[in-house]
Amino acid sequence: MTAAWPLPRSVSQTSLVAALVLVLGGCAHKDPGRPAAIPVTAAAVERRSVPYVLTASGTVEAMQRVSVEAQVTGQLLHIGFHEGDDVVAGQVLFEIDPRPFRAALDQAQAVAARDLAQAENAARDAARYAELVKQEYITPQQYQAAVANAAAQAATLRADSAAVETARLNLQYATVRAPISGRAGNLLIREGNLVKGPGNTLVTINQIRPILVRFSVPGSNLPLIQRQPAKDVVVTARVSGATQPETGTLAFVDNAVDTTSGAILLKARFENRDGALWPGEFADVNMQLFVEPNALVVPAVAVIQGQQGSSVFVIDPGDTVSSRLVKVQRVAADLAVIESGLREGERVVTDGQMRLVPGARVEVKTPAVRSPEEAS
């Protein structure tokens, strides 16, 4: 019989430790524990007063635009403003050589004076012949000729009066005045040049204070627009590079919806005292029709668009989530106005939805506060 050799003390201790590790490892494998919570951010469903705002792209246009033309032909003697100046209604813009028109007026007045004397004499002859024909000193034919002559002279006098008035107007037209107040544009003629009559623009004036912004919105919004008094509709417009939007009011609603685009043309009026809006610029337009009180809202980022419609992840008791279909009435800025599907006070996930499935456990994290530099 062979005697068993005793194992060294160090070997038996090593085997014992290995066996314990295997046992503990097997126990740990059999008890995986709860799954890790998924970090998310959340927001409460709440009620707020939410403005009803329509957004559009618009174009700035002058309140009035006038192409200044001369009514008479002549040599331009003087220009009374500089390109780009602000001008006021009635201000002298151009002076055309008045001498030919003054001479024409003098001539017309002289002809009128001559014909006035002849008309008065013809009227006296007709009156005298009226007495003579009664006494049969002249024939009726002679009397009728005198009456006809007096009538002809009176007609000639009226024509002379019209000629005098025309000559006077031409003399006035030699001085071209601003028809409206506004900003003068590029000069299209210089002193010394020959100014031609109507049909040739000398300068264009745009009225920019106040000013208009033209934009279009879907025609489906027309009933809402019609229900609001125009003075209560607030419109803001921001052009590229502006630090602050300009605020104005609705000034015009077109009388028909465009059958091609289905949109309706609107115009908003802005005082534009600082000249921030300029004709021809493009502007981002927001039109606030009214403020909806006590609207049920969630952050717009909480809403997920899927094949079945809009949905959100709601955080249930026990910090698990469930997916719920909701009906979104509209989106206002960063808020979604909920028509149905949620109750005030419930919590919805606003970040981390892509990693969630119904029943998943979540851990709500406080959103990091961005620094002013990051926010900008």
Yes or no: say if 338 and 48 are a contact pair by the CB < 8 Å rule.
no
End-to-end CA separation in angstroms for the chain: 91
Q: State residue 366's pLDDT score.
A: 72
My answer on whether 215 and 280 are in the same domain is: yes
Is residue 263 in some structural domain?
yes
pLDDT in tens, 221-241: 999 999 999 888 999 999 999
Is residue 298 in some structural domain?
yes
Is residue 347 in some structural domain?
yes
Is residue 286 in some structural domain?
yes
Domain with 113 in it: what CATH number?
Answer: 1.10.287.470
Domain with 253 in it: what CATH number?
Answer: 2.40.30.170
Instruction: Please list the helix, strand and coil fractions of the chain in percent, rounded to the nearest 5, in that order.
Output: 30, 40, 30
From CA 122, how far away is CA 248, in angstroms rounded?
A: 68
Question: HSE of 297 in the Cβ direction (CA atoms, 13 Å)?
Answer: 18
In this prediction the pTM is 0.72
pLDDT in tens, 77-132: 999 999 999 999 999 999 999 999 999 999 999 999 999 999 999 999 999 999 99
Q: State residue 32's pLDDT score.
A: 56
Helix or strand run (H / E) with residue 75: strand 74-79
My answer on whether 125 and 161 are in the same domain is: yes
Q: What domain range includes position 332?
A: 38-48+294-369
Residue after which a domain boundary falls, among 247, 273, 292: 292
Q: State residue 220's pLDDT score.
A: 94
Residue after which a domain boundary falls, among 235, 260, 292: 292
Indicate the pLDDT class of residue 28, thresholds 50, 70 and 90.
Answer: very low
Is residue 188 in some structural domain?
no
Is residue 93 in some structural domain?
no
Q: State residue 117's pLDDT score.
A: 96
My answer on whether 109 and 133 are in the same domain is: yes
My answer on whether 301 and 257 are in the same domain is: no
The one-character DSSP state at 282 is: E
Overall domain count for the chain: 3
Residue after which a domain boundary falls, among 173, 193, 226: 173
**Of the given ranges (2-11, 107-116, 186-195), which has the lowest mean pLDDT?**
2-11
Domain with 361 in it: what CATH number?
Answer: 2.40.420.20
